[in-house]
Structure 1
């Protein structure tokens, strides 16, 4: 996968552009939960960090099932001051989406997320970046973790279909897949499910491993659904020695605001 400024890549690949790099993508699988995009090249995150113990399950929230407008999604999105240690801002460049097409149609739901265009197409979408601002969140390396958050609202049944199709694709594409786009071919390998904190009415996380000039680039995606709204968290690490992470506190705080 070449360097591009697609929506879902913006949290990580825009930072990569600033560093003069150009990623290839290969895939990973995920299981329940959500992850956020690691923005800096040295930022890392642990998919299992903050997982809720089985002995202390969180109550399943109720939902009024509304299909939110863009204004409604913006109101539901976390803002600076809502979660200690994190700053939030609109994500620039969201008019440009990826154009990748998989060689195996079973992997299309994963590719759609990578393109920043979940399928089924949402009724409304809002993009945010979440940046860690305290030492407790940035980790030992001292670099601020950056997570891309995508909120989408769906018409009746669409949110459930999105979650189901991504789960099915992760199972079907465990051995990886290839895509083509206007930027050229990309390869994704090792798609696998990941553990994650319980959040919303339904949650799922998976990892896709990419390649950047021969260096493996782990990409982690967490999806959380409540009613007709889905929050997708995306993180990347541009270091072979690190894995992207979306802290549980970020996931659960955003999930709690979904109607």
Structure 2
């Protein structure tokens, strides 16, 4: 499956807390006051969401997970690299409803963001365990290929943090959810230099972090006849008016055609900074 040359790489909603205000009084006049209080609280919560102010790029950059915060992985900011590559406008999606997924797997923010930053988080390389690591002269092709495949069996996660004004984050999440439901048959997306075709989009289990989350797998069309089918896994998680979008690639699994998942340690570590 071809990938773009630019693989791009907080306030929690108060409704739950406000609901506790309804558990006051019992019957008669007190009950009426409680209902009025509940209606007022709901209205206020809606106003708060509409007036939420997005974080700046500098503020988001400080929220990106670091190498010291996720054991076994190396985290590198990719914001500058992302700015030097294709822009969101360069991405052409055949089916507009599928655009939020295309954006997420390409390292862009899934909605109409006010600020965005990117990072690449790579799993540490695994030490060779087979005989191929000792001497390549006495190793069979099968042994060498097996060890080479194992050396590629590492997760590389492209992380995008984006922030939104008002209820933009909620709208972006709905658009992603609608895309997963409406693009099951796949779609094609092209950048300035290449084109990728996804033959299937499927919902998968989320990490459970954040105020809401959507996770999916994207099956890529093989580059060659009878070639291995590549999988890309994505998850989009909202924390107040900030969204974290994760896309994980494992080249070893892509080559073998075996399924895998979003790097759980990366999501957990990043979520800890966005609570």
TM-score (ref. length: structure 2) = 0.65
Structural mapping, 1:111-150, within 5 Å = 111-133=102-124, 141=150, 143-150=153-160
Given that residues 4 and 191 in structure 2 are in contact (C-alpha distance below 8 angstroms), is that contact kept between their aligned partners in structure 1? no
Quote how far apart the aligned CAs of 1:201 are: 0.9
Deviations 1:103-150 (A, max 9, x none): 2222222223244333432111111111223769xxx93543211111
Q: For residues 108 and 241 of structure 1, do their structure 2 counterparts lie closer, same or farther at Cα, with a shift above 3 Å needed?
A: closer
| Runs of at least 5 residues in structure 1 that lack an aligned partner in the other structure | 11-62
Counterparts of 2:100 and 2:195, CA distance in 1: 18
CA–CA separation in structure 1 for the residues paired with 2:3 and 2:262: 23
Structure index of larger Rg: 2
Q: Residue 229 of structure 1: which of 242, 267, 270 is its match?
A: 242
Q: 1:119 to 1:256 in 2, by over 3 A?
A: same
Alignment partner of 2:247: what SS? strand
| Preserved CA contact (<8 Å) 1:201 1:224 | yes
CA separation of 1:179 and 1:83: change in aligned 2, threshold 3 A: closer
Distance 1:234 1:180, change over 3 A: closer
Q: Give the corresponding residue for 1:73.
A: 60
Query: 2:93 is matched with which residue?
Result: 102
Give me the CA root mean square deviation. 2.7
CA contact (8 A) 2:109 2:160 kept: no
2:240 equivalent to 1:252: no
1:178 corresponds to: 188
Distance 2:64 2:112 in 1: 19
| RCO higher in structure (CA 8 A, sep ≥6) | 1
Q: Distance in 2 between matches of 1:161 and 1:188?
A: 24
Q: How far apart are the structure 1 equivalents of 2:229 and 2:75?
A: 28
| TM-superposition CA deviations, 1:222-255 (whole Å, max 9, x none) | 1111011111111124324323422323212211
